Chains A and B, each alone.
Chain A
Amino acid sequence: MVDPLQHAHSSSTARAGGNVGPARSRWGAGPHTALPELGVGIIYSSGIESLLHDHPGLIQVLEVEPQTLWLQVSTEDGPRFKTPDGVVEFLAGLPGRKLVHSVGAPVGGSLAPPSMQLDMVRQWVERLDAPWASEHLGFNATLEFHAGFFLAPRQTPDGVEMVVDSIRRFQQAMPVPVAIETGVNYLRPRHDELLDGQFVAEVAREAGCGILLDLHNVFTNALNGRQSVDEFLSLIPLDRVWEVHVAGGMEMDGFWLDGHCDVIPDELLKIIRRVVPALPNLRAIIFEVFPSFVPVMGLDKVRAQLERMQEVWRERGQPRGDGIFRPVPVVLRAETAVPEARVLPVHWEETFARLVIGREPDATELSQQLAADPGVEVIRKLIREFRGSMLVNVLRLTMRLILLALGEEAMRTILAAFWERVPPQFYATTEAEKFADFLESIDLRVPHLAKVLAFERALLATAIDDVPRLVHFDFDPVPLLRALAEGRLPEIEGKPGSFEIEVTPDSAAAEDGLALNWLGPNTQGH
């Protein structure tokens, strides 16, 4: 079955390959020295606004991930995405230039970037006046399901051809140049694939696109036993690097994770200081921090990372003698597998994705090889943590009631059963809806669970479609909901009676037609 979130249009389910001409000539060749120098920035997440307002000059550019701010809505024609009223104008009104970093239409797989998403991303690029757009050199779905994670592409000549086609599709949909982000790969290196840097270099040159060099990703790959940072950088065309991502990570199960969860490690900072002067067309350095880690890190630490990157930014284009990175000769290897045993990109993607969402390996050699790779287990674990986190974020009271009534072990058992039955969903809203369906199907017999779930389903549905909903209770729900909101079970039962909770929408535009006037005209066209 086709994942409706990834493949909302039938045309968007097209496999990449063969049908797309060269990228637009105006963006298709060479480094883009005409791109504006933006400076240092951060990925936008709610909660960092005070850094923008209280520290002028600290942040010159905000990088926006549009899909994180869309809502998925059901229509007669199937699922669609919408941008809530006022959101783009809100972002446009924040200080600094904006970049658009797409996180839902990756270009590293055999599925072409979904046309509906491309259209929405294009609108955001135009409305935020972003000088370029970027996407990930990975894949996140098969025809059957969403993987819930960016997965490493098949790094072979076949893979290069396929990826180049996807990048061209992405490029053709954008009004600005496109850069591809170098990804994380937790798998062990394989002998039947191109070296990481070799793959990126061939893709970028063939597609005529820019490179978003994620130095924490390169650093992570090196720490986990893939190509060294210097070897990777020696292989890629440094003059195509317009943008650098930096971040901090964490250790888990013997792997270094690209967690966007901490300060930039000292060792990586040294690399950044060495590499940035060697990037002649660098236009922006972006610090990445995952939203749920912002309060854990604290804004002071986030600010300190940005201040360090300001120092690095000032050193761009000023080689510091022996400190600058200089490419070293690297011995390249071609695909070595014999043709009949060659793993095609589609087979790679389906096999890899099936394993990381928890399905059993099949009898193919590739499946057996990947199942034995410890990186697969790490990705599987990460996907599950993301899925569980989505649920506690959207169905907070429901999850609390289960946890309080049944305990952690039982809750994890329920989650495991859900994950086994239902593949990951692209959006937190659909993940929550699927879990709610699952809970209703298993009849847990936790007192009041059905009512709490009904309330939260109504909250979720109204947040998406702005239609008020009523949830009926045959007891006073206030003691129960209050206790759950405080993280405990109620000490008293709600008195029996007829009660209703009415959930109402509260978008700014809905409540007050003048609400958005200060933001300028709403030109949203979806």
Chain B
Amino acid sequence: MAATELHYKGTVRITVPTSVGYDLKKFQKSLASLAEKLGCLRCFSGADCFFQWERDYVINPATVAVQGIGASLRGTTPDTAPAVTASIPVAVSSNLGLLQKTVANIAGRLGCTPCTSGFDLLLRQEIRRINQINVKVNEVGAIG
């Protein structure tokens, strides 16, 4: 932990709005972009260097690209406020689109089950999907 503090000098914060958190594809893309931006975390010396000047990260919700902005925008300096924020802003280009996403998140996910006396396949689909992905991962791993 001491080494960590030495590397990052504080807490890294990632801000995730619920619409992104519940949109698995968008969440996945955001994390991939973040991982690229934070890639130098893997590098011992790079972390300090990278976070020295760029402490806030904004992800464009349309492109899911991560943009680094200066720490001064948060009214802080690197030395006095070492926290780093990777922010996924809530604003999207179209409010109609956002509302549609809000509806999509509730309908069939957070609300009650729609009218049916049948069967929901999501559990089985998920099991099949995960099994297929990991069969492929294992195959690639075995070949490699």
Q: Hey, which bits of chain A sit against chain B, CB under 8 A?
A: 43-47, 49, 65, 67-71, 84, 86-87, 90-91, 101, 103-104, 136, 148-150, 181, 183-184, 186, 217, 220, 249-250, 252, 257-261, 288, 290-293, 296, 382, 385-386, 388-394, 396, 399-400, 403-404, 408, 411, 426-429, 459-460, 462-464, 470, 474, 476-479, 481-482, 485-488, 492, 495-508, 510-512, 515-516, 518-519
Among A258, A404, A427, A502, the residue within 8 A (CB) of B111 is: A427
In the assembled complex, 6 residue pairs joining A and B whose CB atoms fall closer than 8 Å, in A order, are A261-B121, A408-B131, A470-B13, A478-B34, A488-B133, A503-B15
A84-B12 in contact (CB<8A): no
Complex Cα–Cα for A149 and B116 (A): 8
Answer yes or no: B81 CB below 8 A from chain A CBs: no
Among A261, A428, A507, the residue within 8 A (CB) of B102 is: A507
**B21 CB contacts on chain A under 8 angstroms:** 459, 503
Answer yes or no: B49 CB below 8 A from chain A CBs: no
A515-B95 in contact (CB<8A): yes
Inter-chain contact count A-B, CB under 8 Å? 268
B116-A389 in contact (CB<8A): no
Contact of A394 with B110 at beta-carbon distance under 8 Å, contacts A90-B99, A497-B4 already known: yes
Complex Cα–Cα for A387 and B17 (A): 26
Answer yes or no: B11 CB below 8 A from chain A CBs: yes
**B3 CB contacts on chain A under 8 angstroms:** 496
Q: Nearest-CB distance from B105 to chain A (Å)?
A: 7
**Secondary structure call for the A interface:** mixed
**Secondary structure call for the B interface:** helix
Q: Nearest-CB distance from A512 to chain B (Å)?
A: 7
A250-B123 in contact (CB<8A): no
Chain B interface: which size bin? 35 or more
Among A150, A296, A482, A508, the residue within 8 A (CB) of B35 is: A482
B120-A508 in contact (CB<8A): no
Q: Nearest-CB distance from A311 to chain B (Å)?
A: 25
B111-A69 in contact (CB<8A): yes
Complex Cα–Cα for A504 and B59 (A): 14
**Which residues of B82-123 have CB atoms within 8 Å of chain A's CB atoms?**
85, 90-91, 95-96, 98-100, 102-123
Answer yes or no: B50 CB below 8 A from chain A CBs: no
Complex Cα–Cα for A45 and B107 (A): 7
Answer yes or no: B18 CB below 8 A from chain A CBs: yes
List 5 other contacts, CB 8 Å, given A426-B112, A499-B12, A518-B95. A43-B114, A470-B13, A478-B34, A500-B13, A504-B15
Please give me the residue from chain B that is nearest to A63 by CB atom. Answer: B115
A183-B117 in contact (CB<8A): yes
Q: Nearest-CB distance from A186 to chain B (Å)?
A: 8
Complex Cα–Cα for A91 and B99 (A): 10
Among A67, A470, A497, A508, the residue within 8 A (CB) of B12 is: A497
**B18 CB contacts on chain A under 8 angstroms:** 459, 462-463, 503-506
Among B7, B16, B112, B117, the residue within 8 A (CB) of A504 is: B16
